[in-house]
Structure 1
C-alpha cells in the first residue's frame, strides 16, 4: 500500500511539473517587443474595465442594459434569431429505479439540432426546480460514432434527478452526436470568422436560450426555478446564458472563466478553442461578463492548479464581481469555491455545486448523502439511430451571422452614406485603434545613402516612427539630391503588407516616392512554428483587434508622418503592393483626402478585420473611397 501511495505521489508530482512547464511554454519571452505590446494593451483594458469604477448601484444599473446588449452583439446574437418552433422529439426512454432519462432532440434553428438527455425523478408531486447542464469538452466516440459529451457528464444529471430536480443535459456543437466545429481559428485557419463576427460561443449561447424555451413547455418543470451549471467549456456556456437570460435564477459556472491577462499575457488562449470567447468588439475584460449575473445567486467554482483557468485570474474575477454584488447589498448571493486539484471534474467541485442549488432553488441546507455516479453505457443515452440529412450543425458557421448584403442603387444614393459607414466601421471594426494623443510624435530621420531610380540618382531618407506603443514602422522617402523633405510638393506612397520594400519598388514612378512596409516586429512573423503563429494571432482577436485592422491604422500613421515631414505637399498618390488594396482604401476614409489611389484591381475579398463583412459588403468599400479621392483601377484601364 505504501508503495502504491509513493507511486501516486510521484505521478502527481509529474503532473504538476508538466502543467507548470505547459504554462511556462506559453510565454512570449522569445519575442520581447510583442510581449511588451500585449502587456501594454491588457493593462490599458484592465484600467478601462475595472468594475470598482462603478461607484453606485445607479451607475451600474445604467450601464447594465448597454453591456448586456453588447454581449448579445459580440456573440453574434444581435439581432436575435427568430424563435421558430422547436420541433422537439423524444426518441427513447431509459429507466432507473429512481429516475427516468428521455433521449430527445430539438431544433434551435431549422436544421440546427440540439441533442440531449432529460433526467427527471420517477415520482414527483408537482413542478420541480430544473437545472440546465451544459457540457465541457468530454468526447465520447467509438467506431466513428459520436455519442455526445452529454454521456460523459451523465453523472450530474443522474444526481439532480435522484435529489428532487429535473435536469436537461445538452450536447455542444462540436462534440455532440452531429459533430460541428469549435476550432475555426484555433487550428483550421478560418480567419474569416473574425470578419463575419462569428464565434461558436454564440451558437452555444443560443442553444442554451432555446433549451430554456423547451423546458418551459414541460409540465415537470418549475420555470421560476431555473439553474445552470457546467464545467470547462460548459462553465463558459453557463456564463453566457446566466449573463444573457434572467430566467436563470441560480448559476454555478465551474472552471469556465479567468481574466484577460491570463488569456493574452500568460497564454491561456493556447489551451482553449473558439467556443470559449465572444468576438471582443467592445474590448471587455471578462469580469464584465460575470457581473451581468448580479444580483442572482452565483457560485464561482474552480480548482487551485488549473493551468487554463489559473487561480489568480479567478480570484481577480471574484474580487471585481463582489463589488457589484455589494452595491446591490447582495454579498451573500455570491460565492467563491476553490478546491485542490487540476483541471478536472472532481467530487469536491460537485458537492459544493449541489449544495448551492439545494440552498437557492429548494431552500434545503441538508448534507449531501448521494454522490454523482454514472449508471449507463454511452449507447444507452444516444438520441439518433441515424443522423438527420437536413442538419446544418456542420456548416452553421457559414450562416449563423449574416454577411452584410450589397446596397441597392437607391440606398447608394442616400445622403450621408459615407459618414454613416465611416462611423459604423469605427464602432464595429476599429475600437482598438489607439487615441492619437497616446502615439509618440517623434520621428527619427536618418540618411539611407543613394540609389539609382529611373536613371536618376535618388537620396534615401529613412523615417522610423511609432504607429502605436511598441509598434515601430519604417518608411523610406526617395527624392532628388539637393531637395529637402520639407520642400517636397509631390510624393507617390507605395504600401506593402509585409517585409522591407526594396527601393526598386520606385521604378516607373516619376519623381519622389515613399515606401511604407507594414511588417514591424509586433506584426510578425514571430519565433516558433505554425501553431505558435496561430496562437499569437488569436491573442490579437481577444484584444478586439486583428493584424489587418492594425495595418489600416499603420497606413494612417504613415500618411500622418509623411505630411508631418513634408509640410508643403500638394499631391499624394498611393499605390498598393501585395494585395493590400482594401487596407489602403479603408485608411483613406479617415485621413485628409489624397490626390489619387492606384490599385491593380478592385478588392473582391474581405480583409480579416473584426466584423468587417458583417458591417458592409466588400463591394461598397471602393464606392466609399471613390467619393473622397480619385480611384484608378489598372485592370479596368487595360
Structure 2
C-alpha cells in the first residue's frame, strides 16, 4: 500500500467515524435523521406560530424518523405527516390551538368501511342465515374478552349510600363487587313514587371531561327517572371514581374492555334480581366510548331489550380507545365491525344517534340502511331508528337527549307528561345538579373504599391469568 493510499484510507475512516458520532448524538444511528417528538412539536409551534397541547407521557420516548423532511408549507399537513406514523393525531380546538390525541386507532376511509360492511353482508340473506352468523359471533366475543367461562361472582352485597330526594326522583350511589376486590361504581336515579315493576336504563358514561358527574349526564338520568324508570349511571374502567383503584393510564390498556363488559354483566345481574325491575324493559344508552360499550353489551346479553348508542356506531371507525377495541372482539367469526355488532340487537328496538362532526357523519347514507335491512329480515324495519344532527358535534347535548327521551317513552311506555311543560317541550330545569363528591360511593376522599379493594393494574392482571399485555 502506498503512503498516498494509506493517507486517503485514514481520511475516509476519520470521515465515516465523524459521521457516526454525529448520527449517534442526534439519534441517527440508522441514518433516519430521527428527532424526539417533543422537539418536533416545539419546532412546529415555532415555525407556524401555533400552540400544541400535550402531556409528558404522550411524547415521552417517542421519535420521528426523517423529521425535517415531514414539514410542509401548512401546519395541518405537517402535523399529519409527523403524527400519522406514530398512530397519533391532533384535534383543532380553536384557531392556532391544537391538542394531541391521547390514543386513537387509524380510521378507515369511509369507502373502505362501507366496502367491508358490504362484504360482511354477503354472509347472510335471511333470518336463518343471520341467526346462524350471530350464533357464531356471540360465544367468540366472550372468548375474546377472556370471559368464557364467566369469572365466579362474589357473594358480597352492593354498597349503597343513603338516598337523596329531589323533585320527582331520588339518587343513591352504588358500588358492585364484580370480582374479588374489583368494584364498579355508579349512581342510581329512581322515580320518587312508583307502583309495581318499572324499567331500567343502564347509562354508562363516555369519554368526556368530568365523567358521569357532568351536568348533562345527571340531567339525562334524572329525566329518565322522572319519566318512571330507573337510570343507573356508571363509570368506565379507570375512569371517574374507579381511579381510586387504578391510574388514569390504565384505562388505555386493552383489559379495560374486559372489565367494563364484566361490569355491565354484573350490573344486569343486580338489577334483574330486584323485585321492582321489569325485566321485559331493560335498556342501555351511552355516548361515545360508552356507545361502543352499549353496542357490545346488547350483542352479548339478551337481557337488554332496547339499546340507544349515541355518537358511536360507524363502519369505518372501531373506537379511539382500547376500552372499545383493545381486545380482539373485531376478529371474531372471521372478522366483524361495530355496525354488524349493532345488528345483533335485532329485532329489539334500537336508536342510532349520529351527527355531522365525528365518525358518525355518514351514518344515514350506508350504515343505517344496512341496519334497516337486517331488521327487515324479521319484518320489523321500523324497530330501528336513526336521528341525525348534521350540524352538531360529538356530544350528548340536549337534542340528542331529546331523541333518547322520545325513544324511551315510545318503547318503554314512560310518562311524558312528567317531564314536559305546558307547550309540550321537555323541561330539564327542575333537575338538581349535584356536586361531584355527592355522587361518590366511597366518600369525598375515598375513605370508605373497602379494605379488600385491589390497587393497581398488576393486581388486576392476577385476576385474569390468561391476559397478556
TM-score normalised by length of structure 1: 0.51
Number of the residue aligned with 2:120? 50
Number of the residue aligned with 2:47? none
Worse overlay, 290-299 or 130-139: 130-139
Q: Spell out, residue by residue over 1:413-470, the C-alpha distance to the aligned partner (whole angstroms, 9 max, x if none).
A: xxxxxxxxxxxxxxxxxxxxxxxxxxxxxxxxxxxxxxxxxxxxxxxxxxxxxxxxxx
**2:450 equivalent among 388, 394, 402:** 388
Residue 87 of structure 1 deviates from its aligned partner by 1.9
Contact 1:229–1:251 (CA under 8 A) maintained in structure 2:
yes
Number of the residue aligned with 2:392? 341
Question: Does residue 110 of the first structure (1) align with residue 162 of the second (2)?
Answer: no
Residue 390 of structure 1 deviates from its aligned partner by 2.5
- SS of 2:309's partner is strand
Larger Rg: 1
What pairs with 1:285-364 in structure 2 (closer than 5 Å)? 285-306=337-358, 309-312=359-362, 315-339=365-389, 340-362=391-413
Taking a change above 3 Å as real, the CA distance of residues 298 and 201 of structure 1, as seen in their structure-2 partners, is same
State the distance in 1 between where 2:151 and 2:381 align. 35
What pairs with 1:500-515 in structure 2 (closer than 5 Å)? none
Question: Does residue 243 of the first structure (1) align with residue 313 of the second (2)?
Answer: no
Residue 245 of structure 1 deviates from its aligned partner by 0.9
Aligned residues: 355
- SS of 1:305's partner is coil
State the distance in 2 between where 1:174 and 1:185 align. 5
Number of the residue aligned with 2:4? none
Contact 1:131–1:168 (CA under 8 A) maintained in structure 2:
yes
State the distance in 2 between where 1:174 and 1:29 align. 26
**1:219 equivalent among 252, 272, 275:** 275
What pairs with 1:575-614 in structure 2 (closer than 5 Å)? none
Number of the residue aligned with 2:131? 61
Taking a change above 3 Å as real, the CA distance of residues 183 and 59 of structure 1, as seen in their structure-2 partners, is farther
Taking a change above 3 Å as real, the CA distance of residues 205 and 129 of structure 1, as seen in their structure-2 partners, is same
State the distance in 1 between where 2:384 and 2:77 align. 29
Residue 208 of structure 1 deviates from its aligned partner by 0.9
State the distance in 2 between where 1:185 and 1:166 align. 27
Number of the residue aligned with 1:401? 464
Number of the residue aligned with 2:52? none
Residue 182 of structure 1 deviates from its aligned partner by 6.8
Residue 320 of structure 1 deviates from its aligned partner by 2.1
State the distance in 1 between where 2:168 and 2:378 align. 40
Number of the residue aligned with 1:78? 148
Number of the residue aligned with 2:204? 134
TM-score normalised by length of structure 2: 0.68
- SS of 2:131's partner is helix
Residue 149 of structure 1 deviates from its aligned partner by 2.6
Taking a change above 3 Å as real, the CA distance of residues 376 and 47 of structure 1, as seen in their structure-2 partners, is closer
Number of the residue aligned with 2:219? 155
- SS of 1:343's partner is coil
Larger strand share, 1 or 2:
1
- SS of 1:311's partner is coil
Taking a change above 3 Å as real, the CA distance of residues 181 and 56 of structure 1, as seen in their structure-2 partners, is farther
Contact 1:76–1:400 (CA under 8 A) maintained in structure 2:
no
- Tell me which stretches of 4 or more aligned residues in structure 1 moved more than 4 Å: 21-31, 41-45, 181-186, 363-368
State the distance in 1 between where 2:465 and 2:425 align. 48
Contact 1:205–1:241 (CA under 8 A) maintained in structure 2:
yes
**Cα-Cα RMSD:** 3.4
State the distance in 1 between where 2:388 and 2:82 align. 29
Number of the residue aligned with 1:592? none
Structure 2, gaps ≥5 residues long? 1-74, 86-105, 418-423
Taking a change above 3 Å as real, the CA distance of residues 91 and 44 of structure 1, as seen in their structure-2 partners, is closer
- SS of 1:312's partner is coil
Residue 115 of structure 1 deviates from its aligned partner by 1.3
State the distance in 2 between where 1:126 and 1:393 align. 40
Q: Spell out, residue by residue over 1:286-314, the C-alpha distance to the aligned partner (whole angstroms, 9 max, x if none).
A: 222111111100001121112xx241257
State the distance in 2 between where 1:276 and 1:47 align. 19
State the distance in 2 between where 1:71 and 1:49 align. 20
Q: Spell out, residue by residue over 1:64-105, the C-alpha distance to the aligned partner (whole angstroms, 9 max, x if none).
A: 111111222222322222233252121222221321111221
